[in-house]
Amino acid sequence: MKRKLLTFMLTMCLVLAGYGGVSHDEYDKVVTERDELKKENDNMQKVLELNTKVAECKAKIEAEYEHAKFTILVTEKASGQSTEEAMQSVDDLYNTSINTLNATIDTWDTIDSPTEIDDETYNSAIQTVDTVDETWEKTYESVVSIEEVMVGK
């Protein structure tokens, strides 16, 4: 009798163990949802990285722009020569740089869903920010070299 009871209980355990699992369809649904959330998370990380890069670039350009204006003004006063053309060139580049950075962010703000961001779009935006930074940096280095000449370095 004990043997039959033990056999019956073992059989019931095996049968019930088979019914406790997740169906293949449910599993596939959860895996698909997980993959979509992972992609959305990765894309949100890209948005954060781009916003950070743009903010850092804008802050750098704004600070250097103020220094460049001051340097050009001091150069004009010290040399007695007009620096209007140099000032206009720096102003134009500053405005173009800031407008390009703002347009880059505005483009990203029009994306409805983070899943719409592809690598090509992201890389293009990063390249735009890098180009703005490099272009500004070349101009700013010229202003710094003028300053160094003025102070005798």
Q: What is the per-residue pLDDT across 7-24, written as a single tens digit (0 to 9) for each?
A: 877 777 666 665 556 788
Q: Specify whether the CB–CB gap between 96 and 136 falls below 8 A.
A: no
* Residue-wise pLDDT tens digits, 29-41: 988 999 988 988 8
Alpha-carbon distance values, 83 to 65, 77, 86, 91, 140 (Å):
15, 9, 5, 12, 15
77: pLDDT strictly greater than 90? no
Distance CA 4, CA 78 (A): 109
Q: Which residues contact 64 (CB under 8 A, 6 or more apart)?
A: 136, 140
pLDDT tens digits, one per residue of 94-137? 999 999 999 998 887 777 666 677 888 889 999 999 999 999 99
Better-scored residue on pLDDT, 18 or 71: 71
pTM of the full structure: 0.75
What CA–CA distance (Å, rounded) separates 104 from 5?
Answer: 74
Indicate if the pLDDT at residue 4 is higher than 80.
Answer: no
pLDDT at 60 over 90: yes
